[in-house]
Amino acid sequence: MTYCVAIKLNAGLVFLSDSRTNAGLDQISTFRKMIVYEKPDDRFMVLLSAGNLSISQSIREILQVEKLKDHEEDAEAITIWNAKSMFDATRVLGSAIRHVYERDAAALKQAGVDFNVSLIFGGQIKGEGMRLFQVYSAGNFIEATPETPYFQVGESKYGKPVLDRVITPNTPLDEAAKCALVSMDSTLKSNLSVGLPLDMVVYEANQFQTDKVVCIDEHNPYFKMMHSSWGVKLREVFDSIEDPTWDDGKTDVPLMQPTGRNLPLKKITSPKEKLI
């Protein structure tokens, strides 16, 4: 499987992806799932992909040459390299997905394989603000908003709680990068189909380029520190919360309540007893 996350903040964008690809537990490989498109002073875009690797690799290849014509009279077709907005660039990506679908979906279906791909595409094109999209296998897409400033694709559940607790549009860039790494760390711990190395890119608003591009493996000093600190401190928090006590007299926060709308379960004490 895969885990990718992208966060849109007022200060910039954070992208993080793992690199494990598996076709069954006995066929594990490393494929990087992030591509950075950068034309300094003009546009900066990042594509993250989850799902069938043959589909996402084809999409990435086709995206480089994909052209979209809105009207016959348009002089120039739209590509990701000349699109005037991230919305248009994402439409080009949707069109690339549909081209791969036309080419491969029927044969995949015959082989019993779904046309399964999920993409995150975000960045900034000169003339507008940063934008972040999640793109589905039908080529349709949704955009991140201040209420939901992040997208995840792949194995998203383990790493979602910390994002929900921390991320708002006002979160500083480095704090959001830390949050993405904690989210990834929880996922790595619980799911074997997500694995190192990680690719991380942090983009600062209105720069149209970045040098904050890093590949994080098991020797990365920061990731090692964060991984061990998080585990130890989480345990300290757990220990610092009072255990439940069953004797109401001994605590301000009894687990047993004297009364309430919801009564404790009735016990079944013999084969003859009715359940309800």
**Site residues for a second copy, window 191-210 (CB under 8 A)?**
197, 199-202
Which one of residues 1, 22, 32, 88 is an interface residue with a second copy (CB under 8 A)? 32
Told to check if 214 binds a second copy by CB under 8 A, we report: yes
Told to check if 10 binds a second copy by CB under 8 A, we report: no
Residue 125, C-beta contacts closer than 8 angstroms, at least 6 positions apart: 42, 43, 45, 83, 84, 85, 86, 89
Q: Residue 36 burial by CB count (10 A; 0-12/13-18/19+): exposed, middle or buried?
A: middle
Which one of residues 1, 38, 104, 108 is an interface residue with a second copy (CB under 8 A)? 38
Q: Residue 209 burial by CB count (10 A; 0-12/13-18/19+): exposed, middle or buried?
A: middle
- Return the range that interacts with a second copy (CB under 8 A); candidates 1-9, 107-115, 116-124, 213-221: 213-221
End-to-end CA distance of the chain: 44
Which one of residues 112, 221, 249, 250 is an interface residue with a second copy (CB under 8 A)? 221
On whether the CB atoms of residues 189 and 13 are closer than 8 A, the answer is: no
Size of the site for a second copy (CB under 8 A): 88
Told to check if 222 binds a second copy by CB under 8 A, we report: yes
Q: In a 3-state reduction of DSSP, which class is residue 72?
A: coil
User: Which amino acid would we find at residue 181?
Assistant: L
Told to check if 252 binds a second copy by CB under 8 A, we report: yes
Scanning residues 162 to 191, which ones bind a second copy (CB under 8 A)? 162, 164-166, 172, 174-175, 177-179, 181-182, 186, 189-190
Which one of residues 1, 10, 22, 36 is an interface residue with a second copy (CB under 8 A)? 36
CB of 259 to a second copy, least distance (A): 10
On whether the CB atoms of residues 81 and 93 are closer than 8 A, the answer is: no
Which one of residues 13, 34, 119, 194 is an interface residue with a second copy (CB under 8 A)? 34
Q: How far is CA 129 from CA 14, 19, 44, 204, in A?
A: 15, 29, 11, 11
